[in-house]
Amino acid sequence: MLPLVISAFVVALVLILCLLQRNFVPLTIDGWFCKVPPGPVCWPLIGARGVDPIYSWITFTEWAKRYGGIFGLFLGSEYTVVLSDINLIRSALSKPSFEGRPLGTISRSLFRGKGLGFADGKLYREQRKFAVNTLHHLAVNSCQSDNPDDTTGLHEIYAALVDDFASTNGEPLDPMHFLQKASVLVSCDLAHKGVVKPDDPIVEDIITLYKPLFSINVSTGLLNIHPWLKHFPPYRQSYQLMQKAVDHGRGIAGKLVEQGRTLREKRAQVNQEKTLFDYASAFDRKMLSVSEEKSFTEEQLIAAAAELVMAGEEDIHAMMYWLVLFMCMYPDIQERAQNVLDELVGPTRQPSLRDNGNLDYIEAIVMESLRFSNFVPFPLPRRTTEDVQFSGFRIPKGRLTLCCSNLITQKNAS
């Protein structure tokens, strides 16, 4: 009798869960008939079992080997399609149907739909176009300009980094902090040129602010699957720390935006020529010139500038950290790279973007370091904006799409 009661209870529980998650049964049936991508067994509201909450890309790599370059699964109640084949990823990212942004509860509550990474719809399209054009213009301007002000900031950052390394007097060290400092300065130079100097105390504030943010975000992946966990320990403390970091980061960005405006006003009194000074100044001019594009607001400027510094600090210092590690592991490559720099750049000047076309070997070292380290196993997820027929399967509207770059970068070259 007892086994029968237990069986009835389990069946009733599953039925209740299926009623609470109405998309579970239709998508599961579609999976049986191969209408949606194949994938692991999932449970209503719980999702797929066995996903590593911290290193989920390791689990997805194993499943990609089992199910192929495209597979689907439930992460909690969220149906998600994972792409791990380079051709499928290229095809998906080129289609307008995959241009939607993630609309998870955590990202909405943390970023409030502002900035670049977690904006969506018309706001995202306008801001993405502006960001791409502005950053491209800044790169070209730095490469072609004869104005020393365009490169002075980068040269100061480079000199400060060299001084930091020299201060150790050849003793063994962990260069993490030096590289974090340099990456913060580079990001700030891009967003708020001339505002933050190497000895500015705000550099340490930014490092301290964002240092725990990414580790917290990685270790609380369950929050994106089950948002209600943010009300219970230990996820409540993690969520509060993330919210504090985002809000504090925007507060710092707001102060830097105002300082940048003051600096530009002083420069304008000396030189009336309007130059594209940095991301914030370009945004300011856009706010004054547009009438129909309502997304260019003060709040959006602060959110985008904070995101630029936050993402830039993490990516730049991680890339340089891996590069330093590889140079230590392969001293012969390091020596050859130094010989190339001595020959093509010389010891009397600092390298510039104009040298980039001649430094193929240096670029190859950087690209191989990025490939091998793969410190970002997942780019930001996409969301389908309509029902899509893709690679022989139907992907419903509003579903997340993850591109698992880990499997691609670790494959042996064919």
Q: Which domains does the chain have, with CATH numbers?
A: 2-102+392-409 (no CATH), 121-329 (1.10.630.10)
This prediction's pTM:
0.83
Rounded-to-integer distance, Cα 320 and Cα 183, Å = 9
Residue 25 has pLDDT above 60, yes or no: yes
Contact 225, 212 (CB under 8 A): no
Rounded-to-integer distance, Cα 242 and Cα 244, Å = 5
Phi first, then psi, for residue 387 (nearest 5°) are -65, 130
Percent helix / strand / coil, the chain, rounded to 5: 65, 5, 30
What is the structure's pLDDT at 295?
81
Tell me the mean pLDDT in the region 223-241. 76
The DSSP secondary-structure symbol of 100 reads B
Percent of the chain scored above 90 by pLDDT? 21
Q: Is 118 exposed, middle or buried (0-12, 13-18, 19+ CB in 10 A)?
A: buried
Going by C-alpha positions, the residue among 348, 383, 110 that lies closest to residue 223 is 110
- DSSP bridge partners of 321: none
Going by C-alpha positions, the residue among 188, 189, 141 that lies closest to residue 352 is 141
Is 352 strand, coil or helix? coil
Concatenating the DSSP letter of every residue in 108-155 gives: HHHHTT-SSTT--HHHHHHHHHHHHHHHHHHHHHHHH---THHHHHHH
Is 23 strand, coil or helix? coil
Low-confidence winner among 193-207, 234-248, 325-339 (lowest mean pLDDT): 234-248
Residue 327 has pLDDT above 60, yes or no: yes
| Joined tokens for residue 374 | 């793969």
Question: Which range among 166-175, 232-241, 388-397 has the greatest average pLDDT?
Answer: 388-397
Rounded-to-integer distance, Cα 88 and Cα 96, Å = 14
The residues, any chain, with a CB within 8 Å of residue 50's CB and separated by 6 or more, are 40, 59
Mean pLDDT rounded to a whole number for the chain = 82
Is 34 strand, coil or helix? coil
Residue 303: alpha-carbon gap to chain centroid: 15
Is 293 strand, coil or helix? coil
Residue 145 has pLDDT above 60, yes or no: no
Going by C-alpha positions, the residue among 400, 245, 127, 379 that lies closest to residue 119 is 127
Question: Which range among 19-23, 168-172, 340-344 has the greatest average pLDDT?
Answer: 340-344
Residue 219 has pLDDT above 50, yes or no: no
Cis peptide before 172 (omega within 30 of 0): no
CA dihedral 277, 279, 280, 282 (to 10 degrees): 70
What is the structure's pLDDT at 414?
41
The DSSP secondary-structure symbol of 102 reads P
